[in-house]
Each structure stands twice: as C-alpha cells, then as structure tokens.
Amino acid sequence: MRHPLHPALVHFPIACWSLATAADLASLAWGEPAWRFAGVMLLAGIGFSIPAMLAGFVELAKVTEDNPAIKDVNRHMILVMNALAFYTASLFLRLQGTRLAEPGVLAIGLSVVGFLSLCVAGWLGGKLVNMHRLGVKPPPPA
C-alpha cells in the first residue's frame, strides 16, 4: 500500500466517540433520545477503533527504537488505549443486560474523560505526521 491505512481509519472512532460525548452532555437537557444515540455511538466507536488500532500497530512496527518520535508514538498509543478503556467502561455502565439504560453521572464522566484523552491523542497523532513526518513519503530528490 502506498500510504498508511491508520490515518484513514481513525476518523470513524473519533467521530463516533466525539458524537457520543456530545450526546451524553446533550442528554442532560434532552433526555432519552440523546442518551440512546450516545450509547449507539459508543458501541460503533469501539467497533471502529479495533481496525484503526490494528493498523496503528502495523505502523508502529515500522518505527525504530532510536527514532526521535518513539516517545510521542508511545504516548499517542497509551492515550488512545485509555480513551478506549474509558469509553468501554462508560458503555458497560449504561447496559442492563443487552439493553441501553440512562447513563449515570459516572458513565457520562467517563465519556468526557475519554474525549479529553482522545483529543490529546489526536493532537499527538498530528504531531507524529506533521512534525516527525511519520507515514509521509519523502519528497523526490531535486
């Protein structure tokens, strides 16, 4: 493949999880329609995160230990895994069997913390591409 698959796949969990957090906060005013939507978006984001993370691990294998970007790569990976853990915990807290129930303060709080972790991870992902030039094809020689 000519360019990495990871950057193409991350948009799906980012969008789903961001919408889930927004819907969680909106549910405080709008109630059931918003929290039901948040639950569905949490589930979709978790599902979409798996192929995105697997593609990230493929890219990680290309980064050598002596690469100056390795610390940011590891921070990015840890923050994304934290986001996944927070969002998964939030989803489990709102499940009653296989049905979604109204989220409590803890479930919404975990969603917000997951979003903050996701934001920092995304910023680091941008840094990896734009500053460290990971996954960027070098320009042709002049």
In the predicted model, what is the mean pLDDT of residues 104-124? 98
Is residue 1 scored above 70 in pLDDT?
A: no
Residue 62 phi, psi (nearest 5): -85, -10
The CA-based angle 32-100-113, given to 5 degrees, is: 85
b/e sequence 61-94, b meaning 16+ C-beta within 10 Å: eebeeeeebeebbeebbebbebbbebbbebbebb
pLDDT digits (tens, 9 = 90+) for 38-87: 999 999 999 999 999 999 999 999 999 999 999 999 999 999 999 999 99
pLDDT digits (tens, 9 = 90+) for 2-16: 778 999 999 999 999
Bridge partner residues of 100 (DSSP) = 95
Global pTM value:
0.93
